[in-house]
Every structure is written in C-alpha cells, then in structure tokens.
C-alpha cells in the first residue's frame, strides 16, 4: 500500500515489479480524466497509449 497526499494505492506483489520508477499522474483532458502512468522502463508502445512491453 502506497499513500500520497491522502490517496491510497493498493498494488499486489506480482504487479509491483512492473511499477519500479513509474510516475502516476491524474490528468484532465478534452477526452476525459484519469490516471496516466509514465514508465521509463517501457521499450515499445503501440501508439494508442494503452499497450506496452517492458
């Protein structure tokens, strides 16, 4: 469990290794709002912003 400014984030042990050095931000755009994950370990993306490989 991680807590940032009152926001609690629960991460299971198997997923934790994929979140090393990941920056999580909340963004609001014209398409909507949600969390954005910026991962410096990503090697490839599909262009849609949803799929990636590490």
22-54 pLDDT, tens digit per residue, is 888 889 989 899 988 888 887 777 766 655 565
Closest CA to 11 of 22, 2, 23: 2
At 23 the three-state DSSP class reads: strand
Residue 53: the pLDDT is: 61
Of the two residues 44 and 9, the one the predictor is more confident about is 9
Whole-angstrom Cα distance, residue 38 to residue 19? 10
pLDDT at 10 over 70: yes
Question: 35 has which bridge partners?
Answer: 26
Residue 38: the pLDDT is: 86
**What domains does the chain contain, in order, with CATH numbers?**
2-53 (2.60.300.12)
Give Rg (Cα) of the chain. Answer: 13
**pTM of the predicted protein model:** 0.56
């Amino acid at each position: 469990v991680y807590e940032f400014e009152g926001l609690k984030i629960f991460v299971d042990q198997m997923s934790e290794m994929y979140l090393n050095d990941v920056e999580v931000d909340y963004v609001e755009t014209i398409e909507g709002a949600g969390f954005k994950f910026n991962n410096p370990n990503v090697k490839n993306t599909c262009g849609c912003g949803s799929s990636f490989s590490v």
